[in-house]
Chains A and B, each alone.
Chain A
Amino acid sequence: MLHKQQKAFSNITAKSTIVRNGFFEKAEIDSSKNTLEIDGNAKISQIDLSKDMIIIKFEKFADGRGFSLAKLLRQNGYKGIIRAKGNLLVDQYPLAIRCGVDEVEISFAHAQHQPKEQWREALTRANNNYLDRLMLA
């Protein structure tokens, strides 16, 4: 499994990388998917929840609106894929996952700067947190 993923990564020629379950994958363009791209200014009431995938753009890592947008989408019953795209640091990955994000799209340069080991390690921090414990204990 690991080996296969690494191989997939080495084949990437596209400009961006997808982080899925802590692994790097090539950013494929799947034209059959019905997607919508939104940014931090999006108003939740105006978003079409029938899309297969909603891509939330993170313009700057310090701009945390995307976290609340993802969570609001889930709270409003959205069941499709949520992708966070852009400037999301590896240390923010567990936060995004906890807000309902499925995958992250980062630039190739970013992927080189923060290699996959760091993303995989970060993913372990998505579990066992205060909020889950408060709500489930």
Chain B
Amino acid sequence: MYQYNQFDRHFVANRVKQFRSQVMRRLDGSLSEEEFRPLRLMNGLYLQLHAYMLRVAIPYGSLNSKQMHQLAYIANKYDKNYAHFTTRQNVQFNWPKLKDVPDILNDLAQVDMHAIQTSGNCIRNVTSDHFAGASIDEVADPRPSAELLRQYSTDHPQFQFLPRKFKIAISGSPKDRAVIRSNDIGLLLKKDKQGNLGYEIYLGGGLGRSPFVGKLLKGFLPKADLLPYIEAIMVVYNLNGRRDNKYKARIKILVHENGIKKIKQEIEENFLIQKKNFKQPSDKLISAINERFKLPNFKQANIDDYKTELKQNAQFSNFIKNNINEHKNKDYAIVSVSLKNIGETPGDATSDQIKTLAGLAKQYSHDELRISHEQNIILPHVHKSDLSGVFKELQKANLATNNIGLISDIIACPGMDYCALATARSIPVAKQIAKHFNELNLEEEIGQLKLKISGCINACGHHHVGHIGILGLEKQGKESYQITLGGEENLSMNIGKRAGPGFSSDELLPAIKRLIKAYLNLRNNPDESFLSSYKRLGKKPFINALYPKEEQANVA
């Protein structure tokens, strides 16, 4: 776990002070709303449909139990007793009052948290693998690099007023759970032939209204060159990114319009300047960062009871089957806690649930927690002998939903329920679909399936990369849901293809039912996932299921 030092604390405290004075200047009128807007956005404060919304950074998705406790406290004191975990490893409070925000920020600062650069046209919170530092398949822990980037990008003097927001994601594993190619910059830690660590770099990925898969910018960048190379990318973007049209301002459009070759050339030219001017962080600073991400002291204990329980307790073994991933240490496990309890809002957790998770992390997970971009919470280091105890506690807190990776583990953006930009509801749609397949007891039967829902073209629900994606639009004053098929995450990222005309909110669930039924009939064997079947058979049989003959006649 990265622990803040005096410098970080001083910086955050100063920002709170500064923002307090900005709020006061807004209230006394010396700042207009137009002027206040970029300043509040730099501190994570949005104006939503019904209220302000405060977005708090959880750098690279890692936090400790004390911080988690503080989130529960804030949710309880200033909000409606819950918090919402987002697809960018942030946490949002949906109902703060403007006058309270400086106090909330102050409470966050007590536990080294803040809302700096969680919005605005700057480099946002760097996201990472939610199994970082724990997973058996990682080449290296991505968090020291992410932390270096956090320090580098925080309050960077050149890059607070970019053409548009800028997202960086980093993965330390070829499994790429951070979906790096959907970011402006995607970094993959890897080793060269001599075994030296470095990065493979992707540029210009993004979802939103014009989705792009990040293109390969550099096959291998030596580790020490990271900051000057990122600086070169940022300078090229800051000077050349389009500022005439908000919808064409992301770096993906710059790359698309100029071609990766030309952009790469400009970046490499600027990199020469940066290399000459850049003073590298000292070894002392780098090793101080590394030190803070050391593996915990793993304990040794007998796991026979765990094995017995697994055989005897079906509920427990079901939970283990879906919610556990392989840990670096063979006696440990990574536990994913689903925030997709059937019938509840994806990503929401109550104060009490947050407290429970904080307690579990403290007692059983070496004081560590992670937030996943799939809006779930991870206990990264649980000894197998403790799994049964953890499971029981989760059951008591209504947190033992064993649906990780299944059809009811839906990512959904806030949509019409909160978001001012929404064209349709997404939370109720997610609840309806999850409930349906859960009641029929079909989730296990269907197996691994990523279903993602966005409430407008901005695609915060990542529908483009869902095996099944749902995009809520508005047609003649009514909600119309478009279905996309075959989207894929990870290094092999694919943008899903639009299946055909949209469905009304009444037609949507029946359409999804037909689609799933068709898949169950079409698959080779129960182990062939929806995505594999789709890849093997192509879209045709699935489209036929979505639009049966008589309806196709109607549409035509």
**Given A113-B30, A137-B282, A72–B235 Cβ distance below 8 Å?**
yes
- Contact call B279/A95, Cβ cutoff below 8 A: no
Least CB distance from B11 to A in Å reads 7
One of A69, A91, A137 near B285 (C-beta < 8 A):
A137
Contacts of A98 in B (CB 8 A): 157
Contacts of B162 in A (CB 8 A): 64
Contacts of B161 in A (CB 8 A): 61-64, 67, 92
Contacts of A96 in B (CB 8 A): 157
- Contact call B18/A135, Cβ cutoff below 8 A: no
> At the interface, yes or no: A116 with Cβ under 8 Å from chain B?
no
One of B154, B159, B227, B281 near A64 (C-beta < 8 A):
B159
Contacts of A130 in B (CB 8 A): 11, 151-152, 154-156
One of A114, A125, A129, A133 near B18 (C-beta < 8 A):
A125
> At the interface, yes or no: A120 with Cβ under 8 Å from chain B?
no
A92 to B152, CA, bound (A): 18
Interface size class of B (residues with CB under 8 A): 35 or more
- Contact call A134/B157, Cβ cutoff below 8 A: no
Least CB distance from A71 to B in Å reads 6
One of B7, B157, B273 near A67 (C-beta < 8 A):
B157
Residue ID in chain B nearest A97 by CB atoms? B157
A99 to B235, CA, bound (A): 12
A61 to B39, CA, bound (A): 11
A99 to B121, CA, bound (A): 18
- Contact call A75/B152, Cβ cutoff below 8 A: no
**Given A134-B227, A135-B278, A68–B14 Cβ distance below 8 Å?**
no
A45-103 residues at the B interface, CB under 8 angstroms: 61-65, 67-69, 71-72, 75-76, 89, 91-92, 94-96, 98-99
Least CB distance from A101 to B in Å reads 10
Query: What mask results when residues 234 to 245 of chain B are scored 1 for a CB within 8 Å of chain A, else 0?
Result: 010011000100
Contacts of B156 in A (CB 8 A): 130-131
Max count, chain B CB within 10 A of own CB: residue among A68, A91, A114: A68
A115 to B185, CA, bound (A): 40
- Contact call A64/B238, Cβ cutoff below 8 A: yes
**Given A89-B35, A135-B278, A137-B281, A65–B238 Cβ distance below 8 Å?**
yes
> At the interface, yes or no: A136 with Cβ under 8 Å from chain B?
yes
B1-31 residues at the A interface, CB under 8 angstroms: 7, 10-11, 14, 18, 22, 30
Query: What mask results when residues 276 to 300 of chain B are scored 1 for a CB within 8 Å of chain A, else 0?
Result: 1111111011000000000000000
Residue ID in chain A nearest B276 by CB atoms? A75
Residue ID in chain A nearest B273 by CB atoms? A75
- Contact call B273/A99, Cβ cutoff below 8 A: no
Contacts of A63 in B (CB 8 A): 161, 243
Query: What mask results when residues 98 to 110 of chain A are scored 1 for a CB within 8 Å of chain B, else 0?
Result: 1100000000000
- Contact call B11/A136, Cβ cutoff below 8 A: no
One of B154, B239, B243, B278 near A68 (C-beta < 8 A):
B239
One of A61, A67, A128, A131 near B238 (C-beta < 8 A):
A67
Residue ID in chain B nearest A99 by CB atoms? B157
- Contact call B285/A68, Cβ cutoff below 8 A: no
A99 to B151, CA, bound (A): 17
Query: What mask results when residues 140 to 181 of chain B are scored 1 for a CB within 8 Å of chain A, else 0?
Result: 000000001001101111111110000000000000000000
> At the interface, yes or no: B38 with Cβ under 8 Å from chain A?
yes
- Contact call A99/B38, Cβ cutoff below 8 A: no
Least CB distance from A90 to B in Å reads 10
Max count, chain A CB within 10 A of own CB: residue among B239, B243, B279, B281: B239
Contacts of B276 in A (CB 8 A): 75
Least CB distance from A82 to B in Å reads 13
One of B39, B155, B239, B243 near A129 (C-beta < 8 A):
B155
- Contact call A65/B239, Cβ cutoff below 8 A: yes
Residue ID in chain B nearest A41 by CB atoms? B239
Least CB distance from B17 to A in Å reads 10
**Given A67-B158, A68-B158, A71-B158, A91–B22 Cβ distance below 8 Å?**
yes
Contacts of A69 in B (CB 8 A): 239
- Contact call B160/A64, Cβ cutoff below 8 A: yes
One of B10, B39, B152, B243 near A131 (C-beta < 8 A):
B152
- Contact call B11/A131, Cβ cutoff below 8 A: no
A69 to B90, CA, bound (A): 32
Residue ID in chain A nearest B280 by CB atoms? A135
Least CB distance from B544 to A in Å reads 49
Least CB distance from A15 to B in Å reads 21
Least CB distance from B334 to A in Å reads 31
Residue ID in chain B nearest A131 by CB atoms? B156
A58 to B426, CA, bound (A): 41
One of A61, A75, A134, A136 near B151 (C-beta < 8 A):
A134
Residue ID in chain B nearest A124 by CB atoms? B14
A72 to B278, CA, bound (A): 12
Least CB distance from B279 to A in Å reads 4
Contacts of B238 in A (CB 8 A): 64-65, 67-68
Least CB distance from B486 to A in Å reads 38
A92 to B120, CA, bound (A): 14
- Contacts A71-B235, A94-B157 aside, 5 further interface pairs with beta carbons under 8 A come to A67-B158, A67-B161, A69-B239, A92-B160, A125-B14
Pairs of residues from A and B, 4 with the lowest C-beta to C-beta distance, nearest first: A64-B161, A98-B157, A135-B279, A95-B157
A–B pairs, 27, beta carbons within 8 Å = A61-B35, A61-B161, A64-B158, A64-B160, A64-B238, A67-B157, A68-B238, A71-B157, A75-B276, A75-B277, A95-B157, A95-B160, A99-B157, A113-B30, A114-B30, A125-B18, A128-B7, A128-B10, A129-B11, A129-B155, A130-B155, A130-B156, A131-B156, A134-B152, A135-B278, A135-B281, A137-B285
Q: Which residues of A contact B (CB under 8 A)?
A: 40, 61-65, 67-69, 71-72, 75-76, 89, 91-92, 94-96, 98-99, 113-114, 125, 128-131, 133-137
